[in-house]
Amino acid sequence: MLVSVGTRLGPYDILAFLGSGGIGEVYRARDPWLGRDVAIKVLPAAFSADPERLHRFEQEARAAAALNHPNIVTIHSVEEANGIRFLTMELVEGTSLADVIPNDGMPLDRVLKIAIPLAEALSAAHTKGITHRDLKPANIMVSPDGQVKILDFGLAKLREVAPAGLDVTGLATAHVTSEGRIVGTVAYMSPEQAEGKPIDHRSDLFSLGVLLYEMATGARPFRGDTNVSVLSSIIKDTPLSVTDLRPVLPRELSRIIKRCLVKDPEYRYQTAKDLRNDLRELQQDRDGGERQGSHGARTDAGMAVGLVRRHRATLIATTGGLVLLAIALLVGRLWFTRSSTGGPIDSLAVLPFVNVGADPNAEYLGAARSASIS
């Protein structure tokens, strides 16, 4: 039996085709029992025909279904009808991340609002021992209100792992291409995944680093004309920093992405929680800087008035000081004159009086007569 729009699969009415991937086709369907729309993923015939692969699939589906996180799509059930195995999942309304990344990259705040929930979702999954292994923009949905959801969590573990020692050419043919058709996840593989080595949760962190790089710049860090050349770039090349491509980005973001993309897993972030913490700290620093800048703009006028007032007070204080200095000099002169003549000063008929507030080059403005000196 072929699944198509307008048919029924078990109790579910198939309403629309949503897409396809390496492990099946996805449809929008109506659940008549609960009166809601769900997503149905129909598994390839190979899974149903191979008991071992089917058993692995069911185990991993149950593990993924046990995840309860707002940024991970919920798996409802594993079912069979008319000889077809399928999953029922939460239907996520929104747009694929692959369709919302602009050619020149996202604004920093947008990058962080998507990256932090992704890191939190990975942390929750890794804590349960589940590695996604197929993290890419097409597997991430962004709802109209900005909520981020990771799809197909844990199911990518069903992909065959190439034997150790398999050369890059063989890996590209066996792992990436099926019947001449490219799956399209090569650019997001970790180096150990590209080499066919055993992988763990740190492989997801490399893939998330690739996503961060693409969100920030609009370009992928590892590129090539063929899948083989892309795999070679992942294994050997060091990409330009995101600040080289977009100098407006903070160096801290460049450092975070660079650490995600380290070839050796031992020197990458060791947990998604550590990555999440660094991203959150960057977000808090940015938000704090914006608030400080806004406050500074509001107080510029007040600061200017304060400076004028302080300057005026300084001028007044300086003028007063000069007056006192002039009086002190006058007293000193009188005292010296008295001491040198040996007697009292009989007359202070005319003493010069200088108005220190006036032009210092002007003539004396008056005279002090019969002054008393204390």
Angle at 261 between CA 257 and CA 262, to 5 degrees: 125
Angle at 160 between CA 140 and CA 165, to 5 degrees: 120
Angle between helix axes 272-298 and 300-341 (nearest 10 degrees) is: 60
Query: 249, 253, 224: which is closest to 237 by C-alpha?
Result: 224
| Residue 159 burial by Cβ neighbours in a 10 Å radius (0-12, 13-18, 19+) | middle
134 is catalytic: yes
DSSP 172: I
Angle at 342 between CA 337 and CA 344, to 5 degrees: 70
State the Cα–Cα distance between residues 323 and 306, nearest whole angstrom. 26
State the Cα–Cα distance between residues 121 and 69, nearest whole angstrom. 7
Task: Name the catalytic one among 134, 152, 204, 278.
Answer: 134
Residues identified as active-site: 134
